[in-house]
Structure 1
Amino acid sequence: MENTKILLLDDREENLISLRAILNRDDIQIYATTSANDALRIVWENDISVALVDVQMPGMDGFEFAETLASNPKTKEILIVFVTAISKETRYAVKGLKTGAIDYLYKPLDPYITSAKVDALVKLARSQREIREKNRMLENYAAIVTNSPDIIATVVPESGKILSVNPSVEIVLGHTPESLLNTSIIDLLVSPEGSPLQKILIERSYVSGETIVLEDQFFGTFRQHVWLELHLMYRNRVLFLNLHDIEKRKAHERELIKAQNQAEKARRAKESFLANMSHEIRTPLNGIIGLGNLLETTALDESQKGLLEMLLQSSSSLLNILNDILDISKIDEGKFSIIPSATDLRNIGKGIVDLMRFKADEKDLKINLTVDESVPACVMVDGMRLNQILLNLVGNALKFTTEGYVNLIIKNEGSKNGKYLLRFSVEDSGIGISEANVANIFSEYGQASDEISHQYGGTGLGLTISQKLVHLLGGELKVQSKLGSGSQFFFTLELENVEEEINKKSQYIPFHQLPPFPGKKILIAEDNRINGLLLEKYLAAWQIDTVLVLNGKEAIRELQSTTYDMVVMDTRMPEMDGFQAARYTRNEIGLDTPILSLSATILPEEIEQAILSGMNDTLSKPFEPMQLHEKIGILMNKE
């Protein structure tokens, strides 16, 4: 069988490399280009069946390219799939389908979904090619009708009576031609009432003389259902019908739907796994960090302080890894939100350098911050995500540098579209990266080499999440490096200057020094013994009386018998969880006591579920005592 020819069109070479890797198989011949004009030459010179086309390209975009193919008889049959990173809104999908595309693939591409869709499209293209070839043979060689594999018949349009039918009807449907003569073709239909053929005969839409193409189901031998594609033409008061067996194509379509359903099932399983993983890890991690906070308030010698500091650092590293995994998942699912706000870039840079200075001092490295004087004081950007990116890059640089320096640099490179072009770069004098291994560093869970992974450790997630976040901010993370001569990671963002005073970050205050809430009483519903103990200790330090229960049922009984100023409730508990308890409190008891949800997951679905169940606010584990103190103050002051 001749290889199916596929065109890949994307203005980024790295995307073409990725698609080639996904679609590498023996029965496919791939043509790839970054130029739309070159792509038009390729489709004209080669019999292309399927085209995967990027939507956003300079010059001629994907929509214009698709319209060009559709307007030419030689290329109009090419199956076009748009590959895009733009919004999944209906208007974009409708625009793409109107230009001739039959499907969309969304970046970042899932290899399994991409491969499954392309496999189904290849099969569909082959099936359609067979149909076109057979139809051309019938048009050009009327003499071979008798030997045609398709059913060819003539029918009286008013009654549906079959006047003639070729021998293929016996192969396709199992009926002899003689048995069908003078019977109605309607009697062979599986569902006459909803049949497209029945509708055409009743409405007499065939009289236009144009060839009509439709699909319908017919009874075969032993009442088996067979899908046929019908070509109808009305001439001399007779309908000429060409009926082609499309069971294989329909099977391919069913396989495509099955693959899509399996992909959706896998997505739901992934979400469930992430939610459970988050809960199972964050719950004990909250206990570890909380016990560390409690230990800080006790008398410790220098050795114990050092051990405690290492304990909290290790906990923080574990939490960062967990957050990176969840962030990657949310980005891949299109559920990650970028929230721009007025941000002081100098404060971000200074905060990162100050935070990482102790690591630099441990390795006797110089860590420097350089910000151009022309960089605006305040810009609109998601400061939290920008901080996360730069912190990852600086941490990586320190990790792979044994002597010399790490520099964080923010430069003004002019303006574009009325916005500042700001370049963020992290330079180091570390081990560097070989040209052959540069491609590995941005892959999920990948590092430059196995040797690097074994020697320096790490998950390989930092650069992956940084690359994805930079893309969401509108930039592209790049690297310049030479083995043994250090590395430079950099990206450029278009940012708007804003004249707004930045709220200074509040100074850290130990939890036992935070303002008290004398005379207040809070019900704690928490089934984890350590987390329950931590909450009691925190609240006791703030002069709050507490009662601890282990599940939602016990919480309901307490609320029915005792008045509380507030409830701090875990979401996942045995017998009755926090969501059920909150709904019962609001709907059955009718209490408006403020309820703060404590959850060991940070997935948006669970946060939304907490609010819908009647809880007033949420706090994700592990949390800082100051965060809990702030939430309590806000909720109790709303009374």
Structure 2
Amino acid sequence: MDKDFLHNIPEESAENLYENSPCGYFSFLADGTIFRINKTLLNLLNYKEKEEVAKVKKIQDLLRIGGKIYFETHFFPLIKMQGFVKEMNVDLLRKDGSYFPALINVNQISSTQGNSTIYRASVLDITDRKKYEKVLLEGKRKAEEASKAKAEFLSTISHEIRTPLNAIVGIGNLIQKTSLDDVQKEYAKILQLSSDNLLELVNNLLDLSKLEADMVKLEERNFSLKELLEVLFHSFKMRARKKNIELKKDFPKDLPEHLLGDPVKLNQILTNLLGNALKFTKEGYIRLKIKELKSNDEAVELQFTVCDTGIGIPKDKLNIIFQEFSQASYDVNQEFGGTGLGLTISQKLLQMHGSQLHVSSEEGKGSEFSFALKFKFSTETSPKGRKTPRLKEFLANSGARVLVVDDNSVNLLIASKYLKGWGLAHETVASGEAAIQEVKESKYDIILMDLHMPKMDGYEASIEIWKICQEPPPVIIALSASGRGDVNLKMKRAGISAYVSKPFDPTDLQEVMVEYLNDRKSDPRTTKK
């Protein structure tokens, strides 16, 4: 560019810069009286001459009624206290009575004349910003609605899938207890394995949809870490043995036992990690290690690590394994199956705790996943762990009578077969109305209640049963294909004491029944919620 040309450009005066600034400017006194205003703001207010805006007199006259009240009650006290106000949203009135959204910044400036104080304000028209914000908020609202709709859809679908799946799992368990030849045993084994895989898929989809819709909340309750780990380790030890893989544990001798936290989510995370390690390990070992990081009189921070000698993960794939429905490669998916949701769910659950899952891996040599969680110490003792071998014996000798309520005939058949095998006297009915009539005529210790039934659902039936039940009242246990998080509050209001998800593990149902039969003298409305 020609230097002479630049040299000949007239210098812009400070006054010109002030008058034609991209922002509107005005100055006012402590009582709000405006004594100076630039052309930019005049144009925004649709005034042609400064003499016209002089009729406005005070800044309050440029504001709508709500803004006037705000200025009197908040603005002036605030600026007198701190000397400035930053990014205040107001609506400014134009000459014709219309208004536009503005962003105002105000600074206090000491006057050179006397002891009076003046204020200078910059004004930015944010009409376009407000439009964009509205679009973004609308987009956010639609996204939230879509997420909620997806969660509701998956919840409904999972319920519809769980109902027939309960029949498949139940019949599969019952078939294996009958006399079978070798071929039939193999068929029954395949049936059970396939139904377990399908159930895991449904559970993972439901868990993910709830996490994305913020429908999952952390709980804080008393639990025994020792018992949780014993049950978890026993469960995976059996599965590892079938693959000829050694399952190791490395726990400190002084591992804290009674803690406050969310044992269900901890168990879910560890189950996902151990399940993944078992799936991708063909030989060698899997190790669950726990290390104490920090501890004081009130809380402890523990590090959990699951390592294996499996196929490992390529370095360039480590950043995608936590994505939904993602696995290291197509070949891995074809060979080992699965949805790739386990790690995603675990990471989201840990993020709820303020933690995260870390991974290190070498292809062909194995992987290591670790995370840290803080727990408060509990002075209470936890409920006793599983005593599986004695459950059936206890139930058979309890003399308890059970009523099964379900509108699905197959579900009634499966529950009836289980109860008969456990030596429990029982009756079955196919509706809430029939359950109420049965309770009027006979005394029951336990009622296994389906929640979703036509005409009268399980909640309504439970409420009516509480109105007519004799002392001691029966324990009502929900047997439902809905996720527990969806029904907790409604169960409590209906006086339902416990929940077992369909399809259910027979041992889980036995444990719940034994727990409440041991506590028959307590009111189920106020215990074990």
The reply to whether TM is greater than 0.5 is: yes
Q: Partner residue of 1:172?
A: 44
CA contact (8 A) 1:227 1:246 kept: yes
Q: Partner residue of 2:64?
A: 190
Distance 1:605 1:434 in 2: 39
Q: Partner residue of 1:123?
A: none
Q: Partner residue of 2:240?
A: 356
Q: CA deviation at 1:173?
A: 2.7
Q: CA deviation at 1:310?
A: 1.5
Judging changes above 3 Å, is the alpha-carbon distance between structure 1 residues 336 and 269 closer, same or farther for their aligned structure 2 residues? farther
Structure 2: stretches of 5+ with no match in the other structure: 1-11, 522-529
CA contact (8 A) 1:218 1:225 kept: yes
Give the alignment of 1:192-341 within 5 angstroms: 194-199=68-73, 210-212=83-85, 214-220=88-94, 223-230=97-104, 231=106, 235=111, 242-255=122-135, 257-258=137-138, 261-262=141-142, 264-328=144-208, 333=214, 335-337=217-219, 341=224
Q: Partner residue of 1:450?
A: 330
Give the alignment of 1:457-606 within 5 angstroms: 457-465=337-345, 476-482=357-363, 485-491=364-370, 505-507=386-388, 515=396, 518=399, 520=401, 522=403, 524-541=404-421, 542-550=423-431, 552-556=432-436, 558-559=438-439, 564-586=444-466, 592-606=473-487
- State the one-letter code of the partner of 1:604: G
Judging changes above 3 Å, is the alpha-carbon distance between structure 1 residues 355 and 189 closer, same or farther for their aligned structure 2 residues? same
CA contact (8 A) 1:275 1:603 kept: no
Distance 1:250 1:392 in 2: 45
Mean CA deviation greater in 524-533 or 243-252: 243-252
Q: Which of 246, 251, 258 matches 1:368?
A: 246
Judging changes above 3 Å, is the alpha-carbon distance between structure 1 residues 190 and 413 closer, same or farther for their aligned structure 2 residues? closer
What is the TM-score normalised by the length of structure 2?
0.73
CA contact (8 A) 1:154 1:241 kept: yes
Judging changes above 3 Å, is the alpha-carbon distance between structure 1 residues 239 and 200 closer, same or farther for their aligned structure 2 residues? farther
1:181 aligns with 2:54: yes
Distance 1:553 1:473 in 2: 47
Aligned length: 484
Distance 1:164 1:502 in 2: 76
Q: Partner residue of 1:37?
A: none
- State the one-letter code of the partner of 2:55: N
Q: CA deviation at 1:583?
A: 3.4
In the TM superposition, what whole-angstrom CA distance separates every residue of 1:338-390 from its partner, at most 9, and x where no partner exists? 875242767754652332322x2xxxxx4224456x85286548887777666
CA contact (8 A) 1:447 1:453 kept: yes
CA contact (8 A) 2:391 2:511 kept: no
Q: Which of 516, 520, 525 matches 1:638?
A: 520
- State the one-letter code of the partner of 1:147: N
Q: CA deviation at 1:569?
A: 1.6
Q: CA deviation at 1:272?
A: 2.4
Mean CA deviation greater in 144-153 or 276-285: 144-153
In the TM superposition, what whole-angstrom CA distance separates every residue of 1:51-72 from its partner, at most 9, and x where no partner exists? xxxxxxxxxxxxxxxxxxxxxx
In the TM superposition, what whole-angstrom CA distance separates every residue of 1:194-249 from its partner, at most 9, and x where no partner exists? 53334579x68877894555442222365433123343657456765543323334
CA contact (8 A) 1:567 1:593 kept: yes
CA contact (8 A) 1:196 1:215 kept: no
Judging changes above 3 Å, is the alpha-carbon distance between structure 1 residues 625 and 223 closer, same or farther for their aligned structure 2 residues? same
Q: Partner residue of 2:499?
A: 618
- State the one-letter code of the partner of 1:144: L
SS at match of 2:241: helix
Q: Partner residue of 2:8?
A: none
Q: Which of 278, 282, 286 matches 1:408?
A: 286
Give the alignment of 1:87-126 within 5 angstroms: none
Q: Partner residue of 1:147?
A: 20
Q: CA deviation at 1:447?
A: 1.0
Q: CA deviation at 1:616?
A: 2.1
Q: Partner residue of 1:66?
A: none
CA contact (8 A) 1:356 1:395 kept: no
Q: Partner residue of 1:13?
A: none
- State the one-letter code of the partner of 1:195: I
Q: Partner residue of 2:508?
A: 627
CA contact (8 A) 1:397 1:406 kept: no
Distance 2:391 2:134 in 1: 61
Q: CA deviation at 1:475?
A: 7.7
Q: CA deviation at 1:564?
A: 4.4
Q: CA deviation at 1:329?
A: 5.3
Q: CA deviation at 1:314?
A: 1.5
Distance 2:334 2:476 in 1: 47
Mean CA deviation greater in 622-631 or 325-334: 325-334
Q: CA deviation at 1:303?
A: 1.5
CA contact (8 A) 1:597 1:615 kept: yes
SS at match of 1:444: coil
Judging changes above 3 Å, is the alpha-carbon distance between structure 1 residues 224 and 454 closer, same or farther for their aligned structure 2 residues? farther
In the TM superposition, what whole-angstrom CA distance separates every residue of 1:387-407 from its partner, at most 9, and x where no partner exists? 7666655654554456xx221
CA contact (8 A) 2:30 2:119 kept: yes
Distance 1:583 1:463 in 2: 40
CA contact (8 A) 1:583 1:614 kept: yes
CA contact (8 A) 1:416 1:494 kept: no
CA contact (8 A) 1:597 1:619 kept: yes
CA contact (8 A) 1:511 1:626 kept: no
Structure 1: stretches of 5+ with no match in the other structure: 1-137, 361-365
SS at match of 1:618: strand
Q: Percent identity?
A: 28
Q: CA deviation at 1:446?
A: 1.1
SS at match of 2:245: strand
Q: CA deviation at 1:260?
A: 5.0
Distance 1:346 1:557 in 2: 44
Q: CA deviation at 1:311?
A: 0.9
CA contact (8 A) 1:423 1:493 kept: yes
Q: CA deviation at 1:548?
A: 0.7
SS at match of 2:159: helix
CA contact (8 A) 1:174 1:220 kept: yes
Distance 2:371 2:25 in 1: 64
Distance 2:23 2:265 in 1: 61
Judging changes above 3 Å, is the alpha-carbon distance between structure 1 residues 232 and 495 closer, same or farther for their aligned structure 2 residues? closer
CA contact (8 A) 2:277 2:286 kept: no
More RCO (CA 8 Å, sep 6+): 2
- State the one-letter code of the partner of 1:316: D
Judging changes above 3 Å, is the alpha-carbon distance between structure 1 residues 242 and 193 closer, same or farther for their aligned structure 2 residues? closer
Judging changes above 3 Å, is the alpha-carbon distance between structure 1 residues 422 and 580 closer, same or farther for their aligned structure 2 residues? closer
CA contact (8 A) 2:391 2:514 kept: no
Q: CA deviation at 1:540?
A: 4.2
SS at match of 1:439: coil
